[in-house]
Amino acid sequence: MDEYRQNNLALWNEWTRINAASSEYRLQQFKAGENSLAPLELTEVGDVSERSLLHLQCHFGMDTLSWARLGARVTGIDFSDEAIKLARSLSSELNVPAEFIQSDIYELPQHLDRQFDIVYTSYGVLSWLADLNAWARLVARYLKPDGFFYIAEMHPFAMIFDDEASEVRLRYSYFNREVERFSVSGSYADPTAECAVKEEYNWPYTLGGVINALLQAGLVPEYLHEHPFTVFQQFPYLVKKENHCWVQPEGMPQFPLIFSIKAQKRK
């Protein structure tokens, strides 16, 4: 594991503690039976009853266990040992069957060797990946011939804007391909929390880059949807609506905030 991922691993180990305690994650409500999945993926993924589901980059497993509560046979993967430790604890405490594997995503074949009906991942996963082509090949490797891959993710176009400005303002290049370093203060779920790791490393991506990586891995999109809402307050000017959905103010020109893709193996 290179120095960038080692740093990010230490960061996510800290973020596990911070996020689990934050009001944003609503862990106590989840323990009481609340489903943590957003309406978008519930609608687009559909019925998962009796289907095997592999959740890549699952953090501490709330979404994974939410799919299990809906009837899926779930396996969650994350590189954070603290996150997987908490995920296993939640599975046991709530009596929700699930398998959780601690592994760097690129090393997953060393720990897992079977295929699934559904491979799933969501929200804030791609920017932590240095190699989208290798990631897409892993998705294909773990997908049954009649299964499908689903991702809901932050739209890369929205990520070129200044997330600290009170108005729409360009800040980043859409076409940057170099690793980016950002200063860290707390976590995205609780910026006020104490965090010993002071920086994170991200890899920018484009929508074309994601689609091309899937196609090269033999995965054919059934659809690509772009959405004018997101699941967190990405910009100070976003307005919160029902179902924990954040949108741009009325009268403001709209641009995509998230996208979703459903893809199947090429036959």
Structural domains of the chain, ranges and CATH numbers in brackets: 3-265 (3.40.50.150)
Confidence of residue 107 (pLDDT cuts 50, 70, 90): very high
Span 130-172, pLDDT tens digits? 999 999 999 999 999 999 999 999 999 999 999 999 999 999 9
pLDDT tens, residue by residue, 2-54: 999 999 999 999 999 999 999 999 999 999 999 999 999 999 999 999 999 99
Amino acid occupying residue 246: W
- Pairing between strand 99-102 and 52-56? unpaired
266 pLDDT tier (thresholds 50, 70, 90): confident
The residue behind tokens 């076409």 is 175
State the sign of the Cα–Cα–Cα–Cα dihedral 58, 62, 63, 66. positive
**What distance in Å separates the CA atoms of residue 126 and residue 202, rounded to the nearest whole number?**
9
Q: What is the pLDDT of residue 206?
A: 98
DSSP 3-state of 64: helix
pLDDT of residue 243: 74
Of 132, 177, 131, 175, nearest to 157 by C-alpha is: 175
Given pLDDT bands bounded at 50, 70 and 90, which one contains residue 184? very high
Contact at 8 Å (CB) between 100 and 88?
yes
As a whole number of angstroms, the distance between CA 100 and CA 223 comes to 29
- Whether 261 has a pLDDT exceeding 70, the answer reads yes
**pTM of this structure:** 0.97
- What percent of the chain stands above pLDDT 70? 100
96 has pLDDT over 70: yes
For 168, half-sphere exposure in the C-beta direction (CA atoms, 13 angstrom radius) is: 10
pLDDT at 1: 63
The mean per-residue pLDDT over the stretch 102-115 comes to: 97
Please, is 261 exposed, middle or buried when counting C-beta atoms within 10 Å of its C-beta (0-12, 13-18, 19+)? buried
Residue 212 has pLDDT above 90, yes or no: yes
The b/e string for 60-92 (b: 16+ C-beta within 10 A; e otherwise) is bbbbbbbbbbbebbbbbbbbbebbbebbbebbe
